[in-house]
Amino acid sequence: MKFLPTLCFCASFFAVAARADSVVLFIGDGMGVNHMKCAGKALFMDTLPVQTTFKTYSADNAITDSAAGGTAFSCGVKTNNEYVAITPDKKPCVTLTEQSVADGLTTGLYSTDETTGATQACFFAHTDRWDKDGILRALEKIKATTDTAFELPDLKSNARAFLEKAAKTGKPFFLMMEQSRIDSKSHKHEFDDAMAAVIDLDDAVRVAVDFSKNRPDMTVVIVADHETGGLTEQCRYTEPEHTGADVRLIAAGKHASLFADVKDNTDVHDRILTVLRKKDGFASALSDFFRRMKSFPAD
State the pLDDT at residue 19.
Answer: 66
Tell me which residue of 72, 124, 77 sits closest to 98, measured CA to CA: 124
3-class secondary structure, 131: coil
CB 151 within 8 A of CB 103: no
Q: Residue 291: is its pLDDT beyond 60? A: no
Q: How confident is the model at residue 277 (pLDDT cuts 50, 70, 90)?
A: confident
- Helix then strand count (H, E) for the chain reads 11, 11
Give 63: exposed, middle or buried? Use CB within 10 Å, 0-12, 13-18, 19+.
middle
CA distance 66 to 68: 6
Pick the residue with more confidence: 185 or 3? 185
Q: Taking CA 54 as the corner, what is the angle to CA 22 and CA 234, rounded to the nearest 5 degrees? A: 115
Sorted by sequence, the CB contacts under 8 Å of residue 161 that are 6+ apart come out as: none
- Domains defined for the chain, CATH in brackets: 1-18+284-299 (no CATH), 20-278 (3.40.720.10)
Q: How confident is the model at residue 278 (pLDDT cuts 50, 70, 90)?
A: confident
State the pLDDT at residue 290.
Answer: 40
Tell me which residue of 120, 137, 118 sits closest to 80, measured CA to CA: 118
Q: Residue 134: is its pLDDT beyond 80? A: yes
Query: What's the mean pLDDT when you consider all of the chain?
Result: 90
Tell me which residue of 68, 29, 63 sits closest to 225, measured CA to CA: 29
Q: Summarize pLDDT for 249-275 with one digit per residue, the tens.
A: 999 999 999 999 999 999 999 999 999
Pick the residue with more confidence: 281 or 147? 147
Q: Summarize pLDDT for 213-238 with one digit per residue, the tens.
A: 999 999 999 999 999 999 999 999 99
How far from each other are the two terminal CA atoms of the chain, in whole angstroms? 5
CB 77 within 8 A of CB 276: no
State the pLDDT at residue 253.
Answer: 97
CA distance 215 to 218: 6
Tell me which residue of 105, 57, 100 sits closest to 81, measured CA to CA: 57
CA distance 287 to 11: 5
Q: Summarize pLDDT for 16-45 with one digit per residue, the tens.
A: 435 689 999 999 999 999 999 999 999 999
CA distance 278 to 288: 13
Overall average pLDDT of the 129-151 stretch: 97
Q: Residue 141: is its pLDDT beyond 50? A: yes
